[in-house]
Amino acid sequence: SEDIDDELLELELAALEDVDVDSDEEDESYLDPNCFSITVPEFQWQWDQLEELSGDCLTLNCHFMFRYNGLFTDDKTSLKEVNLSKATCKFDHLLDFLEVLTTQKSTLEVLRLPNVEANDTYTELLDKLGEFTQLAILDFSHCLELEFNLFEKELFESTTQWRKLHTIHLPLKLRSSKDFQSLENVSVVPASLKTLHIGLCEEIPDKVLRVFRSIVLQCAYKDTKLAIASFRKVEQFLFDSSSLVLPQPDILDAKDSELVTNDITTSWNCTKLRSLTSNVETKLRVAILDSGLHVCHTNLAKKVRAFRSFVEGSLAQSDITGRGTRAAGLISIVAGDRVELLVGKVCSDNGSITESSLVAGVNWATTEGADIICIPSAVSENCGNDLYKAINESLGSGKIIVTAAAGKQPMNRNIGYPAKYGNTICVAGEDESGLPLKGGPCAREIEFLGPGKEIWSMGMAKKYSCVSGPAEAVAQVTGLCSLLLAYDRTNDSLIGNCEHMKVLLRSMAASMDCHTMASGYGSLIPSRLFNENSSDVKIQEAFKDAFQSFDY
């Protein structure tokens, strides 16, 4: 059957109206924000596909064990550090992931744990960690849900498991005087232990200082340093709250109890076009240059041919704003398995895009052989010649570039770059009645309108999110362009560049002969060319005739 994975996505969306999120029956696949897949994906990631792997260090901003299934069977690769500190997960899922990781138990020296949910006992976790006999650093600083006394009692009863352990970081959250009880009662300090970071403190009891007098204690303070005798081995650091900022998506489901079916696959009536392209042999490559991808959506992640980040210190396999993930979801739902994705991260975690990052992203997508490049946002600064050159060179090589009619800043009605150059397919959002979204940009560069009002797609904190804006319209038009290009390549291959695609889209626009600064040529109506009642021959003839309708 065609588009199995994408039909699953559509069925999941369609089923949302029947979901009772208040039900007592726990639906793990929906309720767990780190496990959005119902089944184990039938694929394995190779080491050279992982941007998270740098040398012998693996950093995972997103925790989902099935994504890394099969990674650790490579005897040639050994890890010395695994950093999960920016992840959040259920207790059982962490145990499962550590089981996958045990092939590295003879080489792993540094393990930074995620913000795991609290549990009644941590014996099972500590026993599993004990299998990693070469650990020198254990970092629990981001485990903010752990209860100090319970966890630390069991931890120091287990430290003899690690003969090379020299540094322990305890949860970096504020301790009350009662939270020192277990540390006060530690009977034996491991001989190998040199440094213990006890988190954020307003005071350290004398008994704790005496128990750990043979090692260096480290602590964080908020405003003023703690008054501690100079002969004590205590190092103090000003508390940096930014170091504990875990991914917090801007978009949450405000309508959890009223989830409704999204009709993005039917609003354009693409049934005929989808059926005519169901047997495409060579997948189209679509590059998404935005905020990355939340890889817990494994039905999307398995479509990705390559990840690349152009934002320093941020991985393309993570997405804080959620815009890139939503774009990938919409493209996948509209175009089905006719596409494979190139995910380039050009947007920082605060939502801004620099000219240099987008230039690097466009050049990368062009080199990687993208057929279509989707840019759902705008550069947050004034641009020089570098971006203009990169866009022109990409267009000159035959790439189709779809951009958003978006301002440099939110609610700015002057569109930003690269859409402002006027040589891309510039898309604005429309509401249910086909009118431009309120507050949207108004500019001569706008070519078409796409659905942009309350669009459901893949979410971040929840499995789905409903968002309005031009980015959602750009993603759906990109999906439509993918269908059109797939149809063209199975027939006469008339689409050779971005201008050809513009002409084809204009032939199915609501106002093909009238351009306005607010709406361009208006809404897109694919059924004008791909009518269900027309024969395949007539559709092919109409497709050819469309290229003669306008100058390009």
**Where are the domains positioned within the chain?**
33-244, 281-495+513-523
HSE (CB half, 13 Å, CA atoms) of 233?
Answer: 12
- pLDDT at residue 5, rounded to an integer: 54
Q: 146 with 173: CB under 8 angstroms?
A: no
What crossing angle do the helices spanning 536-546 and 498-506 adopt, rounded to 10°? Answer: 120
Angle (nearest 5°) at CA 104 between 132 and 151: 35
Q: 218 - beta bridge partners?
A: 197, 235
Q: Residue with structure tokens 């081995």?
A: 233
- Using alpha carbons, list the distances in angstroms from residue 451 to 173, 218, 443: 45, 54, 18
Angle (nearest 5°) at CA 221 between 218 and 224: 125
Considering only the C-alpha atoms of the chain, give the largest distance between any 2 of them, rounded to a whole number of Å. 90
SS (H, E, C) 108-153: CCEEECCEECCCCCCHHHHHHHHCCCCCCEEECCCCCCCCHHHHHH
pLDDT digit of tens for each residue in the chain (552 aa)?
444 555 555 555 544 443 333 333 333 332 333 333 333 434 444 444 455 677 888 887 654 444 444 445 455 668 899 998 877 777 887 887 888 777 788 899 999 998 888 899 999 999 999 999 999 999 999 999 899 999 999 999 999 899 999 999 999 999 999 999 999 999 989 999 999 999 999 999 999 999 999 999 999 998 899 999 888 999 999 988 766 644 433 333 333 222 233 444 445 778 889 899 988 889 999 999 999 998 777 678 778 999 999 998 788 888 888 899 999 999 998 898 899 999 999 999 888 999 999 999 999 999 999 999 999 999 988 888 999 999 999 999 999 999 999 886 655 568 899 999 999 999 999 998 889 998 888 889 999 999 999 888 887 766 778 889 999 999 999 999 999 999 999 998 999 999 999 999 999 999 988 999 999 999 999 988 998 889 999 999 999 998 877 665
- Using alpha carbons, list the distances in angstroms from residue 262 to 303, 335, 440, 453: 22, 16, 22, 11
Distance of CA 451 to the CA centre of its chain: 22
How is residue 492 annotated by DSSP?
T
Angle (nearest 5°) at CA 259 between 258 and 265: 145
Q: Two tokens at 60?
A: 């995972």
Q: Two tokens at 347?
A: 């947007």
* Cα gap 180→160, rounded to integer Å: 21
HSE (CB half, 13 Å, CA atoms) of 269?
Answer: 11
Q: 519 with 433: CB under 8 angstroms?
A: no
Give the SS3 label for residue 306. Answer: strand
How is residue 435 annotated by DSSP?
P
CATH number, span 33-244: 3.80.10
- pLDDT at residue 150, rounded to an integer: 95
Quote the pTM value. 0.64
Q: 310 with 364: CB under 8 angstroms?
A: yes
Instruction: Classify residue 241 by burial, with Cβ atoms within 10 Å: 0-12, 13-18, 19+.
Output: exposed
Q: Residue with structure tokens 């039938």?
A: 42
- pLDDT at residue 300, rounded to an integer: 80
Q: 233 with 217: CB under 8 angstroms?
A: yes
308 contacts: CB under 8 Å, gap ≥ 6: 51, 316, 342, 343, 344, 345, 361, 364
* Cα gap 481→432, rounded to integer Å: 21
Nearest Cα residue to 311 out of 342, 344, 346, 343: 346
Taking domain 281-495+513-523, whether its CATH number is 3.40.50.200 is answered by yes
Element of type H or E holding 84: none
